[in-house]
Structure formats: C-alpha cells, structure tokens
Amino acid sequence: QVGQLGDTMGNDVFIVGGFVRDFLLGEENQDLDFVVEGDGIAFAQALNEIIQGRLTIHEKFGTATIQLPDKRTLDVVTARREYYEYPAAMPQVEKSSIWSDLFRRDFTINAMAIQLNKSKFGQLIDYFGGIQDLEDKNIRVLYNLSFVEDPTRIFRAIRFSTRLNFNIEDETKTFIHEAIKDGMLDRLSAERLREEILNTILEKNIQENILSLDRFKVLEIIHPKLQASQANVEKLQTLKETINYFRTYESRPDEIEVVLIVLMHLLSDLNEHDLVESLNKLIANKGNYSKIKETLENRKIIYEQLKQEDLNSYDLYQLLNQFSLESIIYYYNDCDHSYVKHYLLFYVLKLKEIHVEISGEDLIKLGIKPGPIFRIVLERVLEEKVKGNIYRREEEIQF
Ligand code: ATP
C-alpha cells in the first residue's frame, strides 16, 4: 500500500532504520519508519486516509506519526536533497535525498533502506556497509564526529551492542572514549542523562550494560566513587531469577519497578554522603529516591533482626511493613543468610497483604468514643490478624 501510494503521488518511498536492521536479522520490529522523497506530511495524510489510524503532524520537522489501532506506530519523514561540502577543494556535491537521510543516522546497521515503489520494490540501499557490519556483528558510526554531534548515541551504541550481542567496532570505541573524555556528556541536560543511563541499564542484559557503562567511565560521571564492583555484578546476575520468582507470587507482577532494585544493588557500596550525591543525579522522583535511600540505610539493621531464630509474625510484619516490594526483593537477592531469605519470603507470601478491614465508623457503632483508643484498638486487631488468630471482618468486630 505504501509503495503504491508513493507511485500514485510520484514519490520515492523507503522503509528505513530499525525495521530494515531487524528484518535482515530475521527479528520482528513493530516500529515502521518511512522516508518519503517529497512532501512527507502530504504523504502521511494520504496514507492515513487509507489506513485510518491516528495522525499526528510535526510541521516544523516535516514528519508525521500514525498510531495504528493494534498499537504499532508508523513514522513518516520527509527527505530533502542537501549539499555537502567536501574538504580538499572539491566542489559541493548534491546527494540524493535518501542518502542525506541515511547519513544522519547513528550506526551503519541502522542506516539502510528498502525501496517500496513497485518498479524497485525490495531494493536494498546500503551506502555505508551496514550489511557487512550486520554479518560481522559490528556497531560502527558513519563518521568521526558522530558522538560529538549527538552524545546520546554513546548510550545507543552500548544498548545495541548488548541487545544484539554485537561488538562496538574498535574505532567507534575510540570515538566514544574521546567524546566522553572531551566532556560531551556534560552537554546533555541532567534529565536526558538520567533517562539515557536508566534506559541503558535496563536493556536486556543488565550486568553487561553496567559493566559497559563502567568501562566507558560513564558511572564516574554519576559519581567518582561509583563503579561496577564484582560483588554487585554477581548479585545482578541472580536478580532476574529472583524477580521472576517473586513475580509468580504477585497479583500485579508488572508493577515491580526493576530499575529501583538494580539501582539499590549498584549504589550499595557507597557511604551515606556519596549515596545522596548519586541519587540526586539518578532519581528525580521523590518517592523512588527515598525508597532506595531508606532500603540501603536500613539494610544492616534489617539483616540483623531477620537473623534471629524466633521472630514472631507480628514483629516480622512491623519490621518489613514500611518497605516496598522492591526493597524486599533487593534484600532477598542481596543477603545469602537462609533465615533472612526465609522470613522475607514468608512476609511476602503470608503477611504483606494483611490489613484491618474495620474502620473508625465500626468502632463508633460499637460504642467506643473517638480518641487515641482507636489507634490502639485497630493495632491490636491487626496484631491478631497477622498472628493468624482472626481472619474475617466479623471476627474483627467480635474481637
Ligand atoms: P528500537 O526501536 O528497537 O530500540 P530502532 O533502531 O528502531 O531500535 P529508534 O530509537 O526507534 O531505534 O530509532 C529509529 C531509527 O532512527 C534508528 O534505526 C536510527 O536509524 C535513527 N536514530 C534514532 N536515534 C538516533 C540518533 N540519536 N542519531 C541518529 N540516528 C538515530
């Protein structure tokens, strides 16, 4: 349909970028990026008439996005002819629009296109050796100053290399080191840097990404004392399994915020002062900030308490009730002591969801006058519930 429309409107149309890369790798990719030589916006409007998605136009950039009902997105970009000045007194060279569009891209494997017009349908356009790099499993930039032009590509290189299990090609690696050494990451806003680091950490193989960020000295930018210590990396290796284990017991397994648990591990060697400095750079959300800080600050006390043999369920409840599920999972993954693990699991399986069902209104109905007594009564009811002496609402009222 896209190619046909291109023919009708007299535009050359290509599918480009991630889709082409993944198609050649035999992987699925739901994000379709089209490049249109000509008026991309008019093309997107006509295309949307046919496919009836939700069209958003970005006039300023000559781009448009169509959201399909099945959640796929379809981006349409306008490609323009541009003139490139070559050194050594060569004349200005006019390049085809698709060349110019692909030349702006990050890596050779992301800079290929497939033409969709009928007469050239399926023709692969690979100006920069993308196919070779796919075969050799290389992440390679198109030109030396690529990371200077857009330092977020540093994170993209790390992400693609772990996601696809590719190498960052040697010269590209050198460009990354140079860009970081020259302070290019300082040019990103705090928010952008945070977003890129966290996205990179969470990509597929967490410990690989963290080691990579460490090797390129990006962790040092967060805090000079921050590094991927062997102990932490080992813990991160078991984390995925631990999270999956807890997910099987959770009614809302997708709500576990993996990034918080990862950061707890990554930051666990820092002293209080360094921890606060690192958190200031990494976390904007106040709730998440205190979750991490409190979990780490209380770690030693919690382990000491949980190493006791004869902890009753109400003591356990009171000890852990103030912590989020992410904290509990962190403690479980961090501490190897069998009692500690046992108590944490017991808390999640049996105690975490317990709460008092009766309220102040019920107490008034029972003839109790409002006042501090309310809290004492409700707490006693909670204690009995946690200890397993009462279960239902009626039993709470009777008690
Ligand atoms: P995925 O969506 O699976 O993470 P992708 O390659 O589709 O991978 P996008 O971020 O959707 O990644 O980008 C689409 C395409 O846009 C890329 O394949 C690349 O050609 C280009 N691109 C994206 N970000 C940049 C960038 N910072 N610099 C240059 N080109 C970029």
pLDDT at 89: 47
- Name all contacts of 385-390 with Cβ < 8 Å and 24+ positions apart: 385/354, 385/356, 386/313, 386/314, 386/317, 386/351, 386/354, 387/312, 387/313, 387/314, 388/313
pLDDT > 70? residue 88:
no
String of DSSP letters for 378-390: HHHHHHHHHTTS-
What is the tens place of the pLDDT at every residue in 109-154? 999 999 999 999 999 999 999 999 999 999 999 999 999 999 999 9
Alpha carbon of 17 to ligand 1 centroid (Å) = 7
What is the pLDDT confidence band of residue 4, given thresholds at 50, 70 and 90?
Answer: very high
Q: What is the DSSP letter of 251?
A: S
pLDDT > 90? residue 366:
no
How many residues can be counted in the chain? 399
What is the pLDDT confidence band of residue 399, given thresholds at 50, 70 and 90?
Answer: confident
CB atoms within 10 A of CB 379: 13
Write the residue with the smallest CA distance to atom 8 of ligand 1.
18
Of 28, 153, 142, 6, nearest in space to 76 by CA: 6
Contacts of 392 (CB under 8 A, 6+ apart): 357
Helix (H) or strand (E) holding 67: strand 63-67
Q: What is the DSSP letter of 125?
A: E
* ipTM (interface predicted TM): 0.96
pLDDT > 70? residue 91:
no
- Name all contacts of 244-249 with Cβ < 8 Å and 24+ positions apart: 246/325, 246/328, 246/329, 246/332, 246/348, 249/348, 249/349
Write the residue with the smallest CA distance to atom 15 of ligand 1.
17
Alpha carbon of 330 to ligand 1 centroid (Å) = 33
Alpha carbon of 110 to ligand 1 centroid (Å) = 7
Cβ–Cβ < 8 Å for 271, 337: no
CB atoms within 10 A of CB 22: 16
Alpha carbon of 76 to ligand 1 centroid (Å) = 14
Flag whether the pTM goes above 0.80: yes
| Dihedral angle over CA of 223, 176, 112, 7, nearest 10 | 70
What is the pLDDT confidence band of residue 61, given thresholds at 50, 70 and 90?
Answer: confident
Average pLDDT over residues 386-397: 75
CB-based burial of residue 311 (10 Å sphere; 0-12 exposed, 13-18 middle, 19+ buried)? Answer: middle
Pocket of ligand 1 from Cβ distances under 6 Å: 17-18, 31, 33, 105-106, 110-111, 150, 152-153, 156
